Amino acid sequence: MQGAPGYCQIGGARTVEVMNSLLSPPTARATATGPGPARTPTHALARWGLLRDLEDPRQVIAHITPNWYASVMGTGIVAVAAASLPQQFPGLRTAATAVWALAAFLLVALSVATALHWLRHRTTARRHARNPVIAHFYGAPPMAMLTVGAGTLLLGRDVIGLRAAVDLDWALWFAGTAAGLVCAVAVPYLMFTRHDVRPDSAFGGWLMPVVPPMVSASTGALLVPFAPAGQARLTLLLCCYAMFGLSLLASIIVITLIWYRLAMHKSGPAVMVPTLWIVLGPLGQSIAAANLLGGVAHLAMPARYAGAMQAFGVLYGVPVWGFALLWVALAGAITVRTARSGLPFSLTWWSFTFPVGTVVLGTSGLALHTDAQLFRVAAAVFYAALVMAWLLVAARTAHGSLRGRLFLPAPQPAQPTQLAQPAQPAAVC
């Protein structure tokens, strides 16, 4: 089997090295590349302290990777989760609308930066697309579009009007769903045919390409009331349920592999530990999707099926919510243990936001359909944790972005010395 250039020929050691270099924070990257002469930036912005870690402001778009869209996802989910909370209080909706506007701005800015990146740095962009680590994060742009679209319908309607909000949400939903379905097929295909995958390769990022259809299912439920009655509305509902199943079964497989890797090969490098929280994404989002779809099923399905679909949301959601609590405890314990010895900042810290936000959505859905005080309180607790995590990660990201540090390129991993030794054969791909 033909391997991906530069990866498959040298086995798992290459994958681990690539993962460390690409997901590590820029300060660690500088250390990994070895000492070199410090260069003083000469561009005008550096005089004001902006992008002072870059030699040229144009470097901002030179190494844009898809995991930057996790910042849109994490910001957008703060707004969407606030609008979905069972307990509302004065000022919450206004604050959530402001956060949605920020997420929308970030989506536009990153989309422009990504387009310029592909136009001016096509070779680098193609290398990112072939990379066995970065490729998984191409699931982030579709989820970013879907999240902002949902926020537009729930909150943006107060700013731009209901008709414009519905139209914009339809556009973002179709674009995000199409891109997400392509990603859900293309990235696993590359894994199966080209990427070098070892028993210790599994990490939370493997979920990124298969979760977008689940986000489409939950956000699509919001659009069911706005779809034309009859076959169009029925088709939308059934397609959302189909995407629910597609993502759910694929996620179960990946979560099993992550559990195996943790048991057999432990938590791995510190920079990868935040990605353990991504597991909460399909768990919380599936609970939310099951309850949202069940709540609108009566608009398209006969009563005998609609009632069962609504009951399914609770019967499925409560057990999965229990497993989500287990994973929160495990991921939290591993994160605290890692932080004691050093947890360097990187864009993987955004894994502390969106997955937790999906748990808020799922818990809010259970509270709505059961009227249980347990879920009302839990939703508020999870949302408070989400806001604190978002404030921390957003502040660190803003600081690194203004300095330019987060836009620095990842180093090329060194070739292992074993390649020069005939006694160490290359892996057969």
- C-alpha dihedral sign at 258, 261, 263, 267: negative
| Eight-class DSSP state of 50 | T
∠ CA 99-226-156, nearest 5°, is 15
d(CA 85, CA 364): 6
Question: 99 Cβ partners below 8 Å, 6+ apart?
Answer: 75, 76, 78, 79, 82
pLDDT at 417: 37
**Residues of the chain falling short of pLDDT 70:** 1-42, 410-429
Question: Which has the closest alpha carbon to 277: 77, 37, 25, 28?
Answer: 77
d(CA 304, CA 302): 6
C-alpha count within 13 angstroms, C-beta hemisphere, residue 184: 24
Question: Which has the closest alpha carbon to 215: 387, 76, 308?
Answer: 76
pLDDT at 39: 58
* Residue appearing with tokens 């959505």: 361
Using only C-alpha atoms, the chain has a radius of gyration, in whole angstroms, of: 22
pLDDT at 379: 98
Domain boundaries, given as residue ranges, for the chain = 47-184, 236-405
Q: Is-contact 356 280, C-beta < 8 A? A: yes
Question: Which has the closest alpha carbon to 176: 225, 213, 206?
Answer: 213
Q: Is-contact 205 269, C-beta < 8 A? A: no
Alpha-carbon torsion angle 260, 261, 264, 269, nearest 10: -160
pLDDT at 24: 55
d(CA 395, CA 375): 30
